[in-house]
Amino acid sequence: MTDMHQGVPDALVRKRMEEMLAACHDSNRRPSVLAFARSLGISNTTFRRRYPDLVQEITARRTAPSAEQVQEPSPLDTLTARNAKLRRRNRELTAALALATAQIQYVTLENVRFREALEVQQAVTRLR
């Protein structure tokens, strides 16, 4: 397999990467190896094979906590997270309640069957 992008100088790739990292920092987005490779017109695999050091640098910047992540969450974020947690817990409890209801119904039916079998065995006449 031949490399179609041998004409792209490494200095240009490095310059474009710095521009992309600066743009991501300004817009408070995380840098993406795939997006950068596409902007160069190189496939993701080829980019990762030819520039492993740049991939590591982009990945390190992607996983490093941003200034916004280090700060405390806003009250809206706290309420949103708490609401999501309560919704998840509500779904879990609803599922547990449905399971408990089904088990109670099953045990009740089994109890009726056992009582009927016991009455048949002992020849008990039921008074209504």
Q: Is the pLDDT of residue 44 over 80?
A: yes
Residue owning tokens 């002992």: 122
Taking all residues of the chain, what is their mean pLDDT, rounded to a whole number? 85
Angle at 100 between CA 97 and CA 102, to 5 degrees: 110
Structure confidence by residue, pLDDT tens digits, 74-124: 899 999 999 999 999 999 999 999 999 999 999 999 999 999 999 888 876
**What percent of the chain lies above the pLDDT cut of 90?**
32
Q: Is the pLDDT of residue 67 over 70?
A: no
Between 26 and 99, name the one with better pLDDT.
99
Measured in Å, how far apart are the chain's first and last C-alpha atoms? 89
Predicted pLDDT of residue 66: 55
Q: What is the DSSP track for 8-52?
A: S-HHHHHHHHHHHHHHHHHHT----HHHHHHHHT--HHHHHHH-H
User: If you ran DSSP here, which 8-state letter would residue 124 be given?
Assistant: P
User: Measured between alpha carbons, how far is 37 from 23 in angstroms, rounded to an integer?
Assistant: 15
Predicted pLDDT of residue 107: 98
Q: Is the pLDDT of residue 7 over 70?
A: no
Q: Is the pLDDT of residue 1 over 50?
A: no
